[in-house]
Structure 1
Amino acid sequence: MLDLRDKGVGIFSRGIARIPHLSTFLGTTDLVRHPTDQQAASLSAVVGWGAKPNTDIARNFAARHRLPYISLEDGFLRSVDLGVNGAPPLAIILDAQGVYYDATGPSDLEQRLNDTGPDAPLADAELLTRATQAMQRIVTSELSKYNNSPPAPLRDLPGQRRVLVVDQTAGDMSIVRGAVPPGAFGAMLEAAQREHPDADIFIKTHPDVLSGKKRGHFSPAHHQGPRVHFLTDNANPVALLKQMHHVYVATSQMGFEALMVGVPVTCFGAPFYAGWGLTDDRVAIQRRTAQRTLAQIFAAAYLCQSRYIHPDTGALGTLEDVIEHLEAQREMFARNTGTFYCLGISLWKHRDVRAYLRAPGNDVRFCRRLPPPNALPADTRVLVWGRNPERAAVEADCRQQGIPFYHMEDGFLRSVGLGSDLTAPASLVVDSRGLYIDPAFTSDLEHILEHSAFSEAELQRAAALRTAIVDLKVSKYNVDGGDRLSQAPPQDARVLLVPGQVEDDASIQLGTVDVRTNLALLQAVRNANPDAFILFKPHPDVVSGNRRGHLPDDLARKYADAILYDASIAHCLDMAHEVHTMTSLVGFEALMRGLVVHVYGRPFYCGWGLTHDRHPVPRRTRQHTLDSLVAGTLIRYPRYLHPQTMAFTTPEFIVLKLRELTDGSPNLSTRAFRPVRQLRRLANLLQGIIHARKI
């Protein structure tokens, strides 16, 4: 791997300079744009993009000053969306000799594949095992260079035998430099028809052509025939290849993906994977003398020659990091297919709802009421925020008609700041059965906890996630105004934390039975524990003045020994031995910290054998460990969104991000000077509205 750490790297391209995380890809923090002759001595190399003619300035500068010239190109697992649409690369290939697609001269990749010595990297058994496992994941998850195809299953194609001819963009450098003779694309189509007289021939249009950004070599107007079919849908390349019996390419990466799927490939040019004994080559490449396995070519191209960034952190990553990220995006896209009618959702939430429902080819519409049934598309889905009784009739009608109906709500690791201050959420849930705050109906979370099996890997992941949350003192809102007790509880006291709640909140209205107010909760706790030290922590939304549930001090102090209005919940939990709550998420956070939890309502985490429950939930019959509860609640159920890239992400990253934001924030008080908080709220509102239609 090229080492560029010693000195700076010269860049003459504005496009290259704009690549996010470029310094990480190159392994240097010293990027010099348009270096002068006087700066040449401070450089270790000059970089340019591929074999394009506009790299001449950079190449000439490097040659004049005897500096290495390094070509950059997109990696083979590049991104979700297209580069022409502005999607930044997750993988880049660095080459000090040439470019991997340039068959007119040698490249680092070609040299690596020609090296058959006993100490050559491609003789490493561990590397080849890793390559084999990665290929299996790519094929199983149907990943490709771009991953923006709709997640719907590919339609079955006609014909008993199917042959694919892969089109490419006109003038692409992999064609210009890929030893592709004139007329090769027409010859490819003729050969496919001649060599497979009983097969249906399918022409695959390039994604950049489908997007309208570039031109291809084939068109339905000029390439017709009874057996010729044009595929102009944005189909998943690997899913398409799984239906083929033979593939013809000039230099397309789809040829290599076909080899991974197990489909024979004929090459009319000299792509990086041709000439090694795996393809039917119509162009000779004399320099390529070795016979290579598929795993060796994959290892050389995807593992040895490519560099990756971690999609969440932007740090140097691995192929597996990118595979995992792309798998997660595809999984969420599959959940988000269809036309969503989002009923009665506040305008400031539109941006976030669109982001959490994002998928290629779907449609998210906001409306006050549902159109009549005969006006609804066949793929209609209906979504509402929370558990709104006013929408109960609509939900009943939808479910009777077989229209999927969803409830959306804040997740359990939400933000740095209150939802009532219109702070964007890092986590939301989309529930197809009910909602976790309503024990009257089964929710997706309850279904997961009642019926799902968790692997040992999931349980280990849950344990590590729980440890991170506790160690980093992360909670739902992560606000802390710095309130502390003026005097610590007596050393031998049993400290009971009583978290206040918003009394008109849906979780109280739906999840409580006999104890329904903060005052009633304090009374019940004191009556059952006359000698305990009771610490009352009012809800931050109530302290902020945004929501109802304020309990006057003099009344609260009849039952509580101390009140902390503006402290983090983590600080309060650090002092407590037990938590007594109606339905608060604080009870779940207390369980993660190993505290005893008494539940006076019916929250999602009760009834699984981990809490002392005042009211049972008969449907919940399974006994959970803490880690299985965490696995279902924080890993399987919610959705998480990266606050910068707006890509779907993991709870582990969100925990780190919330901690980072908390560390870098000023006093996150819920009792801040009201005009200041109102300005913050207004800023969040405006940001939500401005960006509502940009996603």
Structure 2
Amino acid sequence: MDPAPPARIYAYSGGFLGPDRQARRIRRIMELAGHPLRIGLPGKADKVAVWGHAKRAARGEKIAARRGAGLLRIEDAFLRSLFPGRAGEPTLGLLIDHQGAYYAPAKPSGLETLLATHPLDDHALLERARLGMARIKALQLSKYSAHDPDLPAPKPGYVLIVDQVRGDASLTHGGLDGALSPHLFREMLVQAQIDFPGARIIIRTHPETQHGYRAGHYTPADATQDKITLLDDPVSPWELLEGAIAVYTVSSQLGFDAIFAGHKPRVFGLPFYAGWGLTTDLTPHPRRRRRLTRAQLFAASMLLYPHWYDPCRDRLCSFEDALDHLEALTRAWREDRKGYVALNMRLWKRRHLQIFFGRWERLRFAKAPQRDRQPMVWGMADGPENAIRVEDGFLRSRGLGAELTPPLSLVADDIGLYYDPRSASRLETLIASPPPPGSTTRAQALITRIRKERLSKYNLSCMTPDLPEGYRILVPGQVEDDASIRLGAGDICTNLALLAETRRHNPQAMILYKPHPDVEAGLRPGAIPQGEAMRLADLVLDRADPTYLLDHVDEVWTMTSTLGFEALLRNVPVTTLGAPFYAGWGLTRDLGAIPERRSARPSRDALAHAALIAYPRYVDPVSHLPCAPEVALDRLAMHDSARRPALRMLAKLQGLFASFAPLWR
């Protein structure tokens, strides 16, 4: 007998069928999940998609009842976005439930069934859950992650009460037979004062209330007493949970977060996370008898139940990929939300800078600072002391910056710049700090992918030459007027001097000299006459593939080249004659003057995490969204980062005027 055809899914509300970004995102996730939405009339074997128990679900429920069709209840996933959906930002995931809505305990939902019946004992699954909990906390992410990092949390030692919006479906369908009303929130406030007499009480308003979309249950009138504060500022919920001595909630997702922050929240309703032994429940649940660990609750709720979506790659993805994207998105908002004024920027860079840093507040381009914007300058250009300094990242593009190829990654440093060892930089701070949860595993995977795809900073189409036998030392040439040479090279500051010093220390080695691509292209200074180069080197490797060379050499000697960093990623020993950002941490042999402040001893993977994940910013060239470095690697591997034809023509003209570089750099 042929199997029954899968149920067709019908929808009738604008929330599913509308033209806005959220509706389009919902339709796309449903399609990728195997539930493409249709219009028409369902049969008995079909289902009607409705948005939870919202008012707009009523029409779909009536049609399903009349036609004998089933219901498919849809809701946002528990890590939704930066802002509430009413702000117009689409969700990063959906909860697609064939049984019910996760917040309506009148009957089991798919999530409740999962929590009650799934073994949740797989070691790898639980390790993912533990790491996911740690990462969310370290990154200060929640359902809505647009928390202001500049806002301090209240002084620790308070009781935290969590408000919710009036009429929310998790309250009206919370299973308390009408008891859920403003009176219940009043009772919760009174109970907290009874349980903790004399303690300070912080009432945290809902993000939708903070944005003015919907009213909550508490008002400034509730903060008339000295010990009660209504907090409607967007302080990170993780900071609030850190300072709380107890947490009270009816059914807010913040109670879910509180569990992973180490609390056992006092719960007045019947949310999905209550009844499993991780909460103090004032209303016993009629069905839930199983006792779960935090990791088991997280594994079911965040790893197994949702359908996560990657908006850059346009595909369903794992929780970890969604988290990586939300991390990139949240970081960009937190850093850029107040806007910048970019000073004296070249015309060709402005579009890319706008894409990177002007998503929420468009960049202003000017010649002088402005009082209401933080200044931004390129590299070591003149600028105010508080200027953000921008430079290319270490996985930049397929093509040279000097040929005007758009970057996939930029760094924006509020302390200094990574190639100026005279003072500290944000990168130095990251390298010297303890690595965040999951950083080692993520960096290892990134390094493996970089090596497998043979990726480097510029990813040019290069040759793979035959190399002589013997102990091979690769010497990468550099642009001699580059800031990294001027500021960090020391006494050995020309390519000829670098070659001579390498030969002096290694008279018997096979020395392979690779000129810098910008120098080969005739765009920047640093060329060594052929005769001089061949006197010191055994082979000059014009236009050779650096990734191929790194796989076939025994050592790298350099002044400050990022090729030394790429060598470390491939476990090739590196000797530095200057003070590049990767020197002085115990991973290289350093013959130059290294700042004494570099006393930490990170692992190679910790260094890679700082330099490739935590320090740069990446933008997907396809979607123009802030993205994770893993997405940038995909684009580089698929050649999806080429510059536009207009820029190629401009680059050719630029080559004609290379000696007038100050005009375009």
TMscore range, shorter length: 0.7 to 0.9
Query: How far did residue 476 of structure 1 move?
Result: 0.5
Query: How far did residue 252 of structure 1 move?
Result: 3.0
Judge conservation of contact 1:25–1:308 (CA < 8 Å) in 2: no
Identify which of 163, 184, 187 aligns with 1:188: 184
| Residues 53, 609 of structure 1: alpha-carbon distance in 2 compared, 3 angstrom cutoff | closer
In 2, the alpha carbon distance for the partners of 1:358 and 1:473 equals: 32
- Deviations 1:655-695 (CA, angstroms, capped at 9, x unpaired): 3442233xx577x999x9962746999xxxxxxxxxxxxxx
In 1, the alpha carbon distance for the partners of 2:486 and 2:169 equals: 64
Q: For 1:187, what is the secondary structure of its paired residue? A: helix
Instruction: State the match for 1:166 in structure 2.
Output: 163
Judge conservation of contact 1:499–1:580 (CA < 8 Å) in 2: yes
Instruction: State the match for 1:265 in structure 2.
Output: 266
In 2, the alpha carbon distance for the partners of 1:530 and 1:110 equals: 71
- Superposition map of 1:219-230 within 5 A: 219-220=219-220, 225-226=224-225, 229-230=229-230
Instruction: State the match for 1:83 in structure 2.
Output: 85
The answer to whether structure 1 residue 151 and structure 2 residue 149 are counterparts is: yes
| Residues 166, 602 of structure 1: alpha-carbon distance in 2 compared, 3 angstrom cutoff | closer
Identify which of 380, 395, 418 aligns with 1:387: 380
Instruction: State the match for 2:308 in structure 1.
Output: 308
Unaligned runs of at least 5 residues, structure 1: 396-403, 682-695
Judge conservation of contact 1:4–1:45 (CA < 8 Å) in 2: no
| Residues 8, 225 of structure 1: alpha-carbon distance in 2 compared, 3 angstrom cutoff | same
| Residues 430, 30 of structure 1: alpha-carbon distance in 2 compared, 3 angstrom cutoff | same
- The aligned amino acid for 1:506 is A
The answer to whether structure 1 residue 52 and structure 2 residue 48 are counterparts is: no
Judge conservation of contact 1:151–1:333 (CA < 8 Å) in 2: no
- Deviations 1:299-347 (CA, angstroms, capped at 9, x unpaired): 6544553333468766554556556665677778778898877654556
Judge conservation of contact 2:409–2:619 (CA < 8 Å) in 1: no
In 2, the alpha carbon distance for the partners of 1:76 and 1:652 equals: 23
- The aligned amino acid for 2:49 is V
Instruction: State the match for 2:661 in structure 1.
Output: none
- The aligned amino acid for 2:401 is G
- The aligned amino acid for 1:214 is R
Identify which of 422, 426, 441 aligns with 2:408: 426
Query: How far did residue 429 of structure 1 move?
Result: 3.6
More off after superposition, 5-14 vs 86-95:
5-14
- Deviations 1:494-527 (CA, angstroms, capped at 9, x unpaired): 7665544323221222233455445665677789
Q: For 1:412, what is the secondary structure of its paired residue? A: coil
Query: How far did residue 626 of structure 1 move?
Result: 7.8
The answer to whether structure 1 residue 660 and structure 2 residue 638 are counterparts is: yes
- The aligned amino acid for 1:166 is D
| Residues 382, 60 of structure 1: alpha-carbon distance in 2 compared, 3 angstrom cutoff | same
Instruction: State the match for 2:74 in structure 1.
Output: 72
Instruction: State the match for 2:663 in structure 1.
Output: none
Q: For 1:92, what is the secondary structure of its paired residue? A: strand
Judge conservation of contact 1:463–1:627 (CA < 8 Å) in 2: no
Unaligned runs of at least 5 residues, structure 2: 18-22, 656-665
The answer to whether structure 1 residue 436 and structure 2 residue 418 are counterparts is: yes
Identify which of 552, 555, 562 aligns with 1:585: 562
Judge conservation of contact 1:167–1:185 (CA < 8 Å) in 2: no
The answer to whether structure 1 residue 469 and structure 2 residue 450 are counterparts is: yes
- The aligned amino acid for 1:638 is Y
In 2, the alpha carbon distance for the partners of 1:463 and 1:163 equals: 39
Judge conservation of contact 1:309–1:317 (CA < 8 Å) in 2: yes
- Superposition map of 1:312-327 within 5 A: 316-319=316-319
Instruction: State the match for 1:675 in structure 2.
Output: 649
| Residues 149, 436 of structure 1: alpha-carbon distance in 2 compared, 3 angstrom cutoff | closer
- The aligned amino acid for 1:121 is H
The answer to whether structure 1 residue 31 and structure 2 residue 24 are counterparts is: no
| Residues 333, 186 of structure 1: alpha-carbon distance in 2 compared, 3 angstrom cutoff | same
Q: For 1:239, what is the secondary structure of its paired residue? A: helix
| Residues 262, 537 of structure 1: alpha-carbon distance in 2 compared, 3 angstrom cutoff | closer
Judge conservation of contact 1:152–1:337 (CA < 8 Å) in 2: no
More off after superposition, 646-655 vs 186-195:
646-655
In 2, the alpha carbon distance for the partners of 1:590 and 1:337 equals: 37
What is the root-mean-square deviation of aligned Cα atoms in Å? 5.3
In 1, the alpha carbon distance for the partners of 2:12 and 2:544 equals: 52
Judge conservation of contact 1:438–1:507 (CA < 8 Å) in 2: yes
TM-score by structure 2 length?
Answer: 0.74
Instruction: State the match for 2:460 in structure 1.
Output: 479
Q: For 2:638, what is the secondary structure of its paired residue? A: helix
Judge conservation of contact 2:209–2:215 (CA < 8 Å) in 1: yes
- Superposition map of 1:22-421 within 5 A: 28=33, 31-34=36-39, 45-55=47-57, 58-59=60-61, 68-103=70-105, 105-111=107-113, 120-121=117-118, 124=121, 143-152=141-150, 154-156=152-154, 162=159, 164=161, 166-168=163-165, 170-179=166-175, 185-192=181-188, 194-195=190-191, 196=193, 202-220=202-220, 225-226=224-225, 229-243=229-243, 249-258=249-258, 262=263, 264-267=265-268, 270-273=270-273, 278-279=279-280, 281=282, 288=287, 290=289, 295=294, 301-309=301-309, 316-319=316-319, 344-346=344-346, 368-370=367-369, 384-388=377-381, 390-391=382-383, 394-395=384-385, 407-421=389-403
In 2, the alpha carbon distance for the partners of 1:321 and 1:95 equals: 22
Judge conservation of contact 2:135–2:437 (CA < 8 Å) in 1: no
Query: How far did residue 96 of structure 1 move?
Result: 1.2
Judge conservation of contact 1:154–1:240 (CA < 8 Å) in 2: no
Query: How far did residue 478 of structure 1 move?
Result: 1.1
- The aligned amino acid for 1:408 is V
Judge conservation of contact 1:429–1:637 (CA < 8 Å) in 2: no
- Deviations 1:162-181 (CA, angstroms, capped at 9, x unpaired): 4625130x443334433577
Query: How far did residue 244 of structure 1 move?
Result: 5.1
Judge conservation of contact 2:394–2:562 (CA < 8 Å) in 1: yes
- The aligned amino acid for 2:263 is G
In 2, the alpha carbon distance for the partners of 1:8 and 1:185 equals: 38
Q: For 2:484, what is the secondary structure of its paired residue? A: helix
Instruction: State the match for 2:658 in structure 1.
Output: none
Judge conservation of contact 1:50–1:99 (CA < 8 Å) in 2: yes
Judge conservation of contact 1:164–1:203 (CA < 8 Å) in 2: yes
Instruction: State the match for 2:662 in structure 1.
Output: none
| Residues 419, 302 of structure 1: alpha-carbon distance in 2 compared, 3 angstrom cutoff | same
| Residues 305, 574 of structure 1: alpha-carbon distance in 2 compared, 3 angstrom cutoff | closer
Instruction: State the match for 1:506 in structure 2.
Output: 483
In 2, the alpha carbon distance for the partners of 1:129 and 1:557 equals: 55
In 2, the alpha carbon distance for the partners of 1:236 and 1:609 equals: 36
